[in-house]
Every structure is written in C-alpha cells, then in structure tokens.
Chain A
Amino acid sequence: MSGAASYLARRAVQKERVRILYRRALKDTLNWAVHRHLFYPDADALRERFDANKNVEDIETIDRMIADGEAQYNKWRHPDPYIVPWAPGGSKFTRNPTPPSGIEIVYDYGREDH
C-alpha cells in the first residue's frame, strides 16, 4: 500500500525535523543562558513546549507546527554562538594547518659550508 508507506515516510521526515529542531533549540538555549543554573530551567521549559505537542496526530498540523517552531528558532538565534574551536566558525579553525608533505627542516646548523 503506497499510501501507508508515503504516510510513514512523511512522519519519519517530520520526526527527524523535530529532533534536529530540538537539538538546535537546546544549543541555542545554552548559548543564551551561559550559566548552568539558568540553562537547566530554560531547557526544561523548552522540553515542556515540545512535549505538550507530542500527541498530535494530524499530519498537516504537525507540518505547520514544525514550520512555526523553525521560524521561532530562526528569530531567537544567538548572534555569537559558542562553536568548538576546531570546528568551522570556531576560533582555532585552520589556525595552524599541517605543512605540506614535501617540506622538511634540514638539521645542519653549524655545519653549513657557506
């Protein structure tokens, strides 16, 4: 039955969008609330907002809610998020790249014959 398969495929895509949205929203919450004692209540509130809509069944409503959620996330994105230093966007990214393979140091100090 292709109807059921496409429905399941749509639901799976929606679930993945929800997971990625939750992940990004949680990281953003940590960016805004730097201290852990502020982060934990905010993270709990975010989880409550996601859990309140957990049992919605209608696929169109779910799509609309996900779009709303992503719009809200885009509105509240932090302008200077914490990115791990070696990752793209971080402070250490391409800071000290490994030298190309043909180059090496010739250890003959004092033995040069100029």
Chain B
Amino acid sequence: MASALRAAILGHIRVPVVANGSKLLTPLWIRSMSSHDDHLEKTQVIDRILDIVKSFPKVDPSKVTPEVHFQKDLGLDSLDNVEIIMAIEEEFKLEIPDKEADKIDSCALAIEYVYNHPMAS
C-alpha cells in the first residue's frame, strides 16, 4: 500500500527525461565552478609572459618579443634566466621540475611549456 502510494507520488512528480543524447541538454551552468577543462588561451599566455619579462629590471622592454632568447637576445645571465623562470612559475601557479626548468631558455619555449601544461592557470 505504501509502495503504491509512493509510486503514485513519483509518477506525479516525475520529470520527463528525453532519451536524446545528453550533451545537447547539459546546461552550461552546471560545471561553472569546475576548472576541469578550462585551459588558457594562447594570447593570454603570451601577454602574461611578455609582461613578466618586460618588468624584469635588467631587461629593455622594447626588445621583448615572443621569440626572444633570454641569454642571446636580451643579454641576460643564466642566473637571470633562473629568476625569470621562477617568476613564470609564480605567475601561472606551476611547479616546474628542476631539469625541465633548466632547459627553458627563451620566450618561445616558455610560452610552449606553459600553454601545454595541464595545470597552468
């Protein structure tokens, strides 16, 4: 008897579910708090990295382009390179392993690395 009542109530408030593919009906607002699939745009990455490099005190801001090499074109030291990479890590909340951080030598490499990193934000 209780189960019949329950079935009647459920039948009354049942929301009709369309058997269509669910992707079309998934409202966009459901995952608004999820950062699962939001990746940075490449232009954003380029702008932020260029800002970091330009605000470095030993760098001449007018020479900075997305393909510039830190030691050859900007005349920086290898220790300055380390400092720039640390600043990039702090900006994008990344943790770059030491061996890979050693290899990042130019703006182009840095942009590539940050853009392809899944956890860059």
Contact = CB atoms under 8 A, between A and B. Distances in A.
B78 interface: yes
A23 interface: yes
Interface stretch (A2-10, A59-67, A69-77, A81-89): A81-89
A114 to B, nearest CB: 8
Given A84-B95, A86-B119, A87-B95, A23 B86 contact: yes
B35 to A, nearest CB: 11
B13 to A, nearest CB: 8
Interface in A18-76: 18-20, 22-24, 26-27, 43, 47, 50-51
A18 B14 CA distance: 68
- Chain B contact residues, majority secondary structure: helix
B17 interface: yes
Contact of B98 (A20, A43, A51, A86): A20
B17 A107 contact: yes
The interface size bin for chain B is: 10 to 19
Contacts, number: 42
A55 to B, nearest CB: 13
Contacts of B95: 83-84, 86-87, 90
Contacts of A50: 79
B94 A22 contact: no
A78 interface: no
Contacts of B17: 107, 111
A110 B79 CA distance: 64
Contacts of B52: none
B78 A110 contact: no
Interface in A99-114: 107, 110-111
A20 B85 CA distance: 12
B71 to A, nearest CB: 12
B47 interface: no
